[in-house]
Amino acid sequence: MHNELVDLINKNVPGASATLNAAPDAKSDSTISVDANSIFKVVQFLRDNTTMPFNALQCISGVDYLDYMEVCYVLGHFDVNAPRDLILKVKVTDRVNGNLDSVVSVYPAANFQEREVFDMFGIRFNNHPDLRRILCPDDWQGWPLRKDYVAQKYYADMEVYPDGKMNFEDREFIVRQDMIKKAQLAAAKN
């Protein structure tokens, strides 16, 4: 199914440069990567085509791989005869001004989902009707689900992140701990 979809996307959406990330075994899912600039056209094409349509957007999820960030669009086809799922990925390399085209006009479901990705990863969505934080307060600082995130110490005069509250040595993910140390050193220098 994924091979056909890659051909279909490449044939119909110029510049999409879709590639298949095939899963080595049944333990993981195959995904399709497309070019970040063409995401709107690809999603629109996937909804409107007649060969392999997808009638619903299930969720949008972000992943931070340190070198780049990835946004995964999970599409689904709610059809009794041919149910299918697709994980469609785009890469965002700019950690400061990373932005993507919003797909709200294709799937209204993307409205809240894109707001959540913006809230958690700081990726902006162009042409989004109402892009603001959704789970964190509006004046929260930083992008919480990035791996190099350090929580702010005070929020609205409350100490929300006191020293020694978290037991970092025991359980903290090691890569992230390094990132946090680097970030703290950089902050101390400035």
Partner 1 sequence: MQSRWDIGEPEAPTINKETEQLKSELLTLNMGPQHPATHGVLRIEIWTDSEIVAHAIPHLGYLHRCMEKHSENMDYRGVIPYVDRLDYLAAMNMEWGYVMAVEKMLGTEVPRRAELLRIVTAELQRIASHLMAFGTYAIDLGAFSPFLYAFDMREKILRIFEEVSGARLLYNYIWIGGLWNDYTDDQITRVSAFCDEMLVEAQKYHELLSMNKIFIERTANVGVFSLQDCFDYGATGPILRGSGYKWDLRKNKPYSLYSEFDFDVPVGTGEIGQPGDCWNRYIVRMREVVESVKIIRQAIAKLEPGSVMGKVPKIIKLPKGEVYVRSECPRGELGIHLVSQGESKVPYRLKVKSPCFTHVSMLPRVAPGQMIADFVATVGSIDIVLGEVDR
Residues at the contact surface with partner 1, assessed by CB under 8 A: 23-29, 31, 55-59, 61-64, 72, 74, 76, 78, 80, 83, 85, 87, 107-109, 111-112, 116, 120, 130-138, 144-145, 171-173, 176
Q: Residue 4 CB, nearest distance to partner 1 (Å)?
A: 19
Q: Residue 58 CB, nearest distance to partner 1 (Å)?
A: 6
Closer residue to partner 1 (CB): 102 or 111: 111
Closer residue to partner 1 (CB): 55 or 184: 55
Q: Residue 49 CB, nearest distance to partner 1 (Å)?
A: 16
Tell me the C-alpha to C-alpha distance, in Å, between residue 126 and each of 17, 37, 46. 21, 11, 20
Closer residue to partner 1 (CB): 14 or 163: 163
Closer residue to partner 1 (CB): 25 or 157: 25
Which is it for the CA torsion 5, 50, 73, 58, positive or negative?
negative
3 state DSSP class of 166: coil
Cβ-count burial of 58 within 10 angstroms (0-12 exposed, 13-18 middle, 19+ buried)?
A: middle
Q: Residue 11 CB, nearest distance to partner 1 (Å)?
A: 26
Nearest-angstrom CA–CA distance, 33 and 17: 8
Q: Residue 38 CB, nearest distance to partner 1 (Å)?
A: 22
Cα angle for residues 88, 92, 149 (degrees, 5° grid): 115
Tell me, what DSSP letter sits at residue 38?
G
